Amino acid sequence: MAAVVWITFASLAAAHEVFPTIGDMEVVDGRLTFSLEGNFESIVAGIDLEGLQDTETAPGADRYDVLRAMEPAAFAGAVRAFWPTMTDTMAVLVDGAPAALTLDDIIVPEVGNIDLVRQSTLMFSAALPEDAQSMQIDWPAEFGVLVLRQMGVEEGWDGYLTGGLSEEVDLNVGAQMTALQAFARFIPVGVEHIVPLGLDHILFVLGLFFLSTRVRPLVWQVTAFTAAHTVTLALATLGYVNIPEDNMWIVEAIIAASIVYIAVENIFTDGLNPWRPAIIFGFGLLHGLGFASVLGAYGLPDGAVLPALLGFNIGVELGQLLCIAVAFVIVVAALRLTQSGGTSRRYGLMYIGVAVILLPLLLVPISALGVRAVEAYVPLVFMAAALAGLSAACCVVGGKDSYRAVVAMPASVSIALIGAYWVVERVFL
């Protein structure tokens, strides 16, 4: 099981995460101007970014790799050549009528580490009639998420577009996202970053769970982790802590190392050591920096930074609690049997049925949702099936120590192997 888990997650670790395109919109000298910063190699390559997490396995990935290795002038030329195709699928409406879009400039950074996403800046504009009142943008879903902010007006509009026609935006007044709207909008962003996108954070939280499923030690650990990543997430988001993008690999490598540490400690101890919450707090500070890098990529509404930050953090917590709840539901019956010293073939067969029949059946509707859904959710289904299989063995073996020996230990070994690979991958590969 450990070998299969290792291979499965190792193949996912090389994925290139997809971030939103961040843009500003402003009326300047009678023209409606747009400045969008994003990964335009994926768009020029024709990769469908809707719901995509891994550009490596998408159709057009080879073309994407060629584009991001291009020198700035060459890639700028490729964008200009692609512009007519882009405007065929993207539209800006002024007072309900399509406006002619002009490509003003494309700024491309120098080629650096081609394993990192290159963020270029695309600038285009449209002429405005003298009495123009409103605009809408029709953003294709295949271009991924667009976070667009209206500049130059009081309480400018903030848009989070996943595809389709935006609401009407008043060009003279704006319509800034309210605190409540920002709070509600960023909760699902936080949940999504854990389930299904945050495999490393999921494994860390499960590592906390496997030390002991009793409430008190689990609460101490989760509280320390939550408090820590809340602190650094807030400090980084508000600009008090800044990790350059080129150095984020260090943070990601230490996050992977934290997974290894938690899993290895689970193997060599069967209770909560006095220093473990303090160590978890330290690791939580680093996980918070990881969360902040994602939140920063999504952009925060200028007038509602704190509500958006709070919503994202609550979403992260909901995602973590969901992972713990699923793990608890799967092992609770086996744990109760273990504590009573009994065994049950009936429970064992039930868990085997869940592991090899019920959970694999979930792959049918998941596969119908497309490749991106498979990439996101299959690892989670596999983890649940593996845990159910271990719980089946726990039911059959029984005995006071069967949960630790049959469930917690193998799971921790698997988590340690995955984390160790990620450390190597993030440092050397």
What angle do the packed helices 276-298 and 179-194 form, to 10 degrees? 120
Cβ(283)–Cβ(290) below 8 Å: no
Whether the Cβ atoms of residue 73 and residue 49 lie closer than 8 Å to each other: no
Mean pLDDT of the chain: 82
**Out of 36-45, 128-137, 173-182, least confident range:** 173-182
Closest CA to 192 of 318, 72, 69, 300: 318
Buried b (16+ CB within 10 A) or exposed e, 318-348: ebbeebbebbeebbebbbebbeeeebbeebb
Range 283-292 average pLDDT: 86
Quickly state the pLDDT bin for 5 (edges 50, 70, 90): very low
Q: 100 pLDDT band (50/70/90 cuts)?
A: very high
pLDDT score of 52: 66
Whether pLDDT at 389 is above 90: no
pLDDT at residue 91 is higher than 90: yes
What the block records as the tokens of 222 is: 């989760």
- pLDDT at residue 73, as a whole number: 93
What distances in angstroms separate CA 177 from CA 164, 174, 184, one per listed residue?
19, 10, 11
CA gap 417, 217 in Å, rounded: 24
Name the nearest CA neighbour of 196 among 319, 108, 88, 93: 319
So what's the pLDDT on residue 321? 87
Tell me the residue type at 17. Answer: E
**What pLDDT does 177 receive?**
66
Q: Is 70 exceeded by the pLDDT of residue 13?
A: no
Kindly provide the residue ranges of all beta strands, DSSP E only, lying in 168-258, ordered along the sequence.
Answer: 169-170
Out of 144-158, 204-218, 295-309, 313-327, least confident range:
295-309
The reported pTM is 0.68
| pLDDT score of 313 more than 90 | no
